[in-house]
Amino acid sequence: MAEDKANSKSKKHAAADVVRDKVSDLSLKRFAASDSTRSLTVLLELELPQPKLKIGATRRIGSGELPRRSLSISPSEQHERSERISEVTRSLDHAGVKNKPLSSGTIIAKVSPHQLRDVAKLDLVKTIVPNRKRTF
CB 17 within 8 A of CB 33: no
pLDDT digits (tens, 9 = 90+) for 35-66: 999 999 999 999 988 777 667 666 666 667 76
Residues 6+ apart with CB under 8 A from 85: 46, 48, 101, 105, 107
Q: Determine the structural domain holding residue 114 and report its residue range.
A: 2-130
| Domain annotation covers residue 92 | yes
**What residues of the chain score a pLDDT lower than 50?**
none
| Domain annotation covers residue 136 | no
| Domain annotation covers residue 120 | yes
CA separation for the pair 28, 20 (Å, rounded):
10
| Count of structural domains, the chain | 1
**Whole-prediction pTM value?**
0.74
pLDDT score recorded for residue 44? 97
pLDDT score recorded for residue 7? 53
pLDDT score recorded for residue 75? 85
Question: 58 vs 53, 62, 70, 95, 127, CA distance in Å?
Answer: 15, 13, 12, 50, 37
